[in-house]
Amino acid sequence: MPSKMNPFKSAMQQLTEAAAVMKLDKEILSALREPDRTINVSLPVRMDDGRIKVFQGYRIQYNDARGPYKGGMRYHPQVNMDEIKALGFLQTIKNAVVNLFYGGAKGGISVDPKKLSKAELERLSRMFIQRIAKDIGPETDVPAPDVNTDSEIMGWMVDEYSKIVGKFTPAAITGKPLSLGGSQGREEATGYGGMVVLKQILKEQKIKKLPTVAVQGFGNVGYFFALFAQSSNFKVVAVSDSKGGIYSAKGLDVRKVHEWKKQMGQLKGYPGSTTLSNEQLLELPVDVLVPAALENQIHKDNAKKIQARIIVEMGNGPVTAEADPILIKRKILVVPDVLANSGGVATSYLEWSQNRSGVYWSEQEVLQKLEAYMIAATRNVLSTVREYKVADLRTAAFILALRRIADAMQARGL
Ligand code: NAD
């Protein structure tokens, strides 16, 4: 078994390192070491067979110096308080990197949603909102999708919230279906935004060679990243999901692979491909490696074996703090999650703005606005690298974000 690092400890190590480089005020640093509020709720849900089952739900409101708390809701058996705390902290940093006037939050339920019927999943999601309704809202805390949650679940959540407050309140939740005030472009936003970041970095660093790409995780983020990579003339040679991966040296047709997975329920067996494990995928000799699943995938035990030139962290926290220095030493460029996957929250911000103003944009308008956010964030991170002479983009992104958060905390009188 690879050595897994506690994700909150890993995130705090990253905070400490960036804070030391930028000489962050000690009081601000200590305030950022713990979330503003931790919410832990029990969720009794009636199962289809009539029994009541109790699940654990979490919401971490990490910091709201720059605006309402904002972050996704994850459904996964491994969800626990430390994981959600780490993700809430990273969300705070991410929202500031991309310069959204949001604070940071995260939530989740410890559950394997694949073991629930759709009706059970709906009752669980509605119960979660009933338990936390008084703590969330358009100006307070705005949830969104994450691993194993999608627009349908966000639809149930916004409906439940609206019933509780007695009026339809679309700005309370983002990532909703279009029919409930969701934004055009939200579905593909995270993958699209990641591709914009990668292309901007390649342009600024004058890297011309057409790269091969391997993507770990073939869900919302991984699929759309792979799709936009392919349409930008990258060759996607491997993709994987929780059941394992497939490889083709000639390149995979991403859309067809997606269709195959929908029909067969797995990637394995896709015509013209060979199977490989998730561990093997990470160690492939590709130009760009894209971990787009869960945290802790590249750790101190396998960091030495990574052969990619660039790692684009489309998932949250896939590279541990212990792996970072190994990768830096090996001159592997890591595009950190807080920059690479910030397209999702940037489009959530656009959705929330549309819900609040009542003015709705076309897909093209949304993607144009998103692109502007992503290019500005990438440029700001790269200029912070130069300003502070740091060796990696993560430290630079943290410094950029911490400066903005600290300015807001100070302006508010901490
Ligand atoms: P998703 O549920 O749509 O997809 C997750 C994918 O990862 C699935 O294909 C699943 O099979 C796969 N997976 C799970 N465990 C795996 C493993 N051990 N190895 C390989 N694959 C595995 O989730 P998503 O929305 O695509 O989120 C993926 C990552 O991106 C998460 O870390 C999430 O926090 C992050 N993220 C998502 C968004 C968003 O807009 N959805 C935004 C920012 C960050």
Residue 246 β-bridge partners = 239, 275
Question: Which pLDDT value is given to residue 295?
Answer: 83
Question: Which pLDDT value is given to residue 195?
Answer: 97
Question: Which pLDDT value is given to residue 344?
Answer: 95
By most ligand atoms within 8 Å of CB, the mutation choice from 254, 294, 349 for ligand 1 is 294
- In this prediction, the residues of the chain whose per-residue pLDDT falls under 70 are 1-4, 210
**Ligand 1 pocket residue status of 343, Cβ below 6 Å:** no
pLDDT, tens digit, 9 for 90 and up, residues 51-81: 999 999 999 999 999 999 999 999 999 999 9
Domains delineated in the chain: 36-179 (3.40.50.10860), 183-414 (3.40.50.720)
**Ligand 1 pocket residue status of 161, Cβ below 6 Å:** no
Here the tokens at position 370 are 């998103």
Residue bearing tokens 């992503």: 374
Distance of alpha carbon 22 from alpha carbon 414, whole angstroms: 19
Closest CA to 203 of 406, 374, 362, 408: 374
The contacts of residue 128 (CB under 8 Å, 6+ apart) are: 41, 43, 57, 73, 107, 109, 157
Question: Which pLDDT value is given to residue 7?
Answer: 86
C-alpha distances in Å from residue 4, one per residue of 9, 188, 230, 302: 11, 30, 32, 11
Residues that are catalytic: 106
Q: Give 338-402 as a 3 state SS string.
A: HHHCCHHHHHHHHHHHHHHHCCCCCHHHHHHHHHHHHHHHHHHHHHHHHHHCCCCHHHHHHHHHH
The contacts of residue 163 (CB under 8 Å, 6+ apart) are: none
The three-class DSSP label of residue 84 is: helix
State in Å: Cα 130 to ligand 1 middle.
26
The closest-lying atom of ligand 1 relative to the alpha carbon of residue 190 is 40
**Ligand 1 pocket residue status of 218, Cβ below 6 Å:** yes
Question: Which pLDDT value is given to residue 1?
Answer: 40
Question: Which pLDDT value is given to residue 2?
Answer: 46
Question: Which pLDDT value is given to residue 4?
Answer: 63
**Ligand 1 pocket residue status of 344, Cβ below 6 Å:** yes
Residue type, 107: G
**Ligand 1 pocket residue status of 219, Cβ below 6 Å:** yes
State in Å: Cα 241 to ligand 1 middle.
9
The contacts of residue 283 (CB under 8 Å, 6+ apart) are: 302, 305, 306, 307
Here the tokens at position 239 are 């993709």
The per-residue b/e assignment along 235-272, b for 16 or more CB within 10 angstroms, e otherwise, is bbbbbbbeebbbbbeeebbbeebbebbeeeeebbebee
Distance of alpha carbon 117 from alpha carbon 111, whole angstroms: 12
